[in-house]
Structure 1
Amino acid sequence: MLKPVVQEEPSGCGIASVANILGKTYQEMKTRANAMGIYAEDKSLWSDTQYVRRMLSSARVETSPTEVAFESWSKLPDLALLSIKHHQEDGKNFWHWVLFKRVNGQPLVLDSASYLPSNIRTDFDEMQPEWFIEVKIA
């Protein structure tokens, strides 16, 4: 049974998304992230991709070297970090991290937002990804 990690802080979506990839709890991933100098309170966590890349790299998980423009749900790789809910604050881009994956060939999104009725999403028309980072687990 798939049990998505829910973020425990308003800005903890990057930490929760990485926890979903690595099979960790939010607290386990937060402890690892904090040890690396990465904190949910830092707005850079959801305005810069280097933080999620560093957390994944430290666990020996490979990511695509650049962000890839979103074209369609069917063209996504089997595992990808997606940026949704894009907005700007003081001219800087921000987004919400979610995890796209295919389970037994079926696409779904693990969205860590605590206010959702279900953190497993298939309402693809409601999400507006800008780009994604492919995640490759060996």
Structure 2
Amino acid sequence: MTPPVVQEETTGCGIAAVANILGKTYSEMKAIANGLGIYADDTALWSDTQYVRTLLNNAGVTTSDDEIPFTLWDSLPDTALLAIKHHQENGKNFWHWVVFKRIDGKAMVLDSAAYLDSNIRTDFFEMEPKWFIEVTSIL
């Protein structure tokens, strides 16, 4: 497994999460996103699911049509975009994007936050996912 992508902008978690799924660097994914009119400083990137879906679909990756409420870590698919740090500002929902991966039965979360000591997380009890988007096919 390649090292997780770390977001290079404070609000670039959606771009970094998609880069982690697609195996691209942050700068490669940012260039693709910008070409599609998606920018890290747009708060909709972490308050609307359509942007990450667009980036994944553009790469030929299929996702679940809806956000699926999180229940248990064991019930997650092998790859999923998770919404953690869910909160509201002025009645609008916001979250931090991370990627859940299960490789050879080992579960982990790729968290692009630059302040973390390790961007591969297994401290599941610390994260409180609200919901997830299943990634159903990766090229």
- Give RMSD over aligned pairs: 0.7
Give the TM-score, by structure 2 length.
Answer: 0.98
Distance 2:72 2:2 in 1: 24
1:55-134 → structure 2 map (5 Å cutoff): 55-134=55-134
Distance 1:8 1:71 in 2: 31
Distance 1:11 1:24 in 2: 18
Which residue identity lines up with residue 110 of structure 1 in the other structure? Answer: L
1:33-52 → structure 2 map (5 Å cutoff): 33-52=33-52
Unaligned runs of 5+ in 1: none
Q: Deviations over 1:51-98 (max 9, x none)?
A: 000000000000000000000000000000000001111110000000
The aligned residue for residue 135 of structure 1 is 135
Q: Deviations over 1:81-134 (max 9, x none)?
A: 000001111110000000000011100000000000000000000000000000
Distance 2:95 2:36 in 1: 22
1:3-22 → structure 2 map (5 Å cutoff): 3-22=3-22
Q: How many residues align?
A: 138
Q: Percent identity?
A: 68
The aligned residue for residue 2 of structure 1 is 2
Unaligned runs of 5+ in 2: none
Q: Deviations over 1:17-68 (max 9, x none)?
A: 0000000000000000000000000000000000000000000000000000
